[in-house]
Structure 1
Amino acid sequence: MDTKKIIGLAAIGLALYFVIADPVGSSNAVGAAGAWLQGVAQSFVAFLQNLFR
Structure 2
Amino acid sequence: MKVKQLVTYAIVAFVVFYLFTQPTGAANAVRGVMDGIGTGAGALAQFFNSLFAGS
TM-score normalized by structure 1? 0.91
1:16 aligns with 2:26: no
| Structure 1 runs, 4 residues or longer, greater than 2 Å off | none
**What is the identity percentage for the equivalent residue pairs of Structure 1 and Structure 2?**
23
Instruction: Tell me the CA shift for residue 2 of structure 1.
Output: 1.2
- Count of matched residue pairs: 53
Q: Could you say which structure has the larger radius of gyration?
A: 2
TM-score normalized by structure 2? 0.88
Structure 2 stretches lacking a partner, 5+ long: none
Q: Deviation digits for residues 28-48 of structure 1, max 9, x if unmatched?
A: 110111011100000001001
Structure 1 stretches lacking a partner, 5+ long: none
Alignment of 1:34-49 (within 5 A): 34-49=34-49
With a CA cutoff of 8 Å and minimum separation of 6, indicate the structure with the bigger relative contact order.
1
Q: CA RMSD in A?
A: 1.1
